[in-house]
């Protein structure tokens, strides 16, 4: 039989657990409220997009007046044979029935489409783990080359960790060190992580780490991920004369810009982050810069 000391210790433990649970509940409620506000704020845009599409359908001639068949191939109704199912779930638990309801809805949809080819794109660790236990994982490129399916229902893509947000404290540390706006650094880090160049780790010893060896990441990879391009062909992005600068027209300067773009891409692709860690004189020799 428990004595008074054990009972008091148990009561104190329950109270501490209750306080932690209450704090987590308040944080979750705040996050849910912000998510609901963002969803409600997007409704006018969705409604306007629907109105635009309805207007296009009413104004455009989409059916042939002679045969009554759709004029555009995207409007033709075909038998449903191949289905791509995108399942977006969470990466972590402590979300109530959120992940369970998503998985149940996806399983119910798959059951209703028996006899058809279903390709599953799993976004989030919880959904990924659920479908991995039931269906085969195949590479979409390999399937496209051979033309044969591994199974009627198969997983063709897994995206884990793309829904988590960049920790602002980590971005602020880098921003302060480089004297850059924190919001700008946060966006750059988010792009680098989407390109799988860096990984983020939370916690007291968390931060940003390279996803690959520095010798396997080139300057071109970083610039392409952060700026979407390494060199801008000015006459294509900022056309002065739309008729003269059209890609189909003959231009004497465009080949020069394209050649320069290829040279810049080749140079940046040959320099890795490991090279940049060397001394300045070694980097100058690498890029053949003469002083």
pLDDT value at 106 more than 90: yes
Chosen CATH of 168-286 out of 1.10.3720.10, 1.20.1580.10, 2.40.50.220, 1.10.10.10: 1.10.10.10
pTM for this predicted structure: 0.44
Using CA atoms, how far apart are residues 288 and 38, in angstroms rounded to an integer? 51
pLDDT band at 287 (very low <50, low <70, confident <90, very high): low
Please report, rounded to a whole number, the percentage of residues in the chain having pLDDT higher than 90: 8
Instruction: Choose among 231, 232, 222, 229: nearest CA to 188.
Output: 222
3-state secondary structure of 95: coil
Residue 146, burial from CB neighbour count under 10 angstroms (0-12, 13-18, 19+) = exposed
Give me the sign of the Cα torsion angle 97, 99, 100, 104.
positive
Using CA atoms, how far apart are residues 119 and 197, in angstroms rounded to an integer? 27
Residue 192, burial from CB neighbour count under 10 angstroms (0-12, 13-18, 19+) = buried
60-64, 112-116, 155-159, 191-195, range with the lowest pLDDT? 60-64
3-state secondary structure of 238: coil
Count of other CB atoms within 10 angstroms of residue 102: 19
For residue 290, the model assigns a pLDDT of 44
The CA distances from residue 26 to 12, 40, 138, in Å, are 21, 21, 41
CB hemisphere CA count around 188 (13 angstroms)? 16
Count of other CB atoms within 10 angstroms of residue 98: 13
The CA distances from residue 183 to 14, 38, 175, in Å, are 41, 19, 9
Using CA atoms, how far apart are residues 31 and 269, in angstroms rounded to an integer? 42
For residue 85, the model assigns a pLDDT of 92
CB-based contacts of 274, cutoff 8 Å, min separation 6? 213, 214, 215
pLDDT band at 102 (very low <50, low <70, confident <90, very high): very high
DSSP line for 121-174 = EEESHHHHHHHHTTSEE--HHHHHHH---S-SEEEEEEE-SSSSPPPHHHHHHH
For residue 291, the model assigns a pLDDT of 44
For residue 18, the model assigns a pLDDT of 87
What CATH number does the domain located at 80-159 have?
3.40.1380.10
Mean pLDDT of the chain: 77
User: Do 87 and 102 form a contact (C-beta atoms < 8 A)?
Assistant: yes
CB-based contacts of 159, cutoff 8 Å, min separation 6? 121, 122, 123, 124
Pairing state between β 207-210 and 198-201: antiparallel
């Amino acid at each position: 039989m428990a004595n008074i000391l054990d009972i008091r210790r148990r009561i104190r433990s329950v109270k501490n657990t209750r306080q932690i649970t209450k704090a987590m509940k308040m944080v979750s409620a705040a996050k849910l409220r912000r998510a609901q506000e963002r969803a409600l704020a997007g409704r006018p845009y969705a409604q306007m997009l629907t109105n635009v599409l309805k207007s296009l359908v009413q104004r455009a001639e989409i059916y042939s007046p002679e045969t009554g068949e759709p004029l555009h191939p995207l409007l033709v109704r075909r038998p449903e044979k191949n289905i791509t199912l995108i399942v977006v779930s969470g990466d972590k638990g402590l979300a109530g029935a959120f992940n369970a309801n998503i998985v149940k809805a996806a399983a119910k949809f798959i059951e209703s489409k028996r006899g058809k080819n279903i390709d599953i794109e799993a976004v989030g660790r919880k959904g990924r783990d659920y479908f991995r236990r039931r269906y085969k994982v195949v590479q979409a490129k390999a399937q496209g080359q051979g033309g044969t399916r591994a199974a009627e229902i198969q997983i063709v893509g897994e995206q884990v960790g793309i829904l988590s947000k960049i920790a602002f404290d980590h971005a602020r540390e880098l921003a302060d060190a480089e004297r850059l706006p924190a919001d700008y650094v946060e966006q750059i880090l988010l792009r680098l992580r989407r390109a799988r160049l860096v990984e983020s780790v939370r916690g007291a010893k968390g931060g940003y780490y390279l996803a690959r060896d520095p010798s396997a990441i080139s300057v071109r990879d970083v610039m392409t991920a952060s700026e979407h391009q390494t060199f801008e062909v000015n006459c294509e992005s900022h056309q002065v004369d739309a008729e003269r600068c059209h890609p189909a027209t003959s231009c004497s300067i465009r080949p020069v810009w394209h050649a320069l773009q290829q040279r810049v891409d080749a140079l940046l692709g040959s320099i890795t982050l490991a090279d940049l860690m060397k001394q300045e004189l070694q980097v100058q020799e690498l890029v053949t810069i003469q002083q």
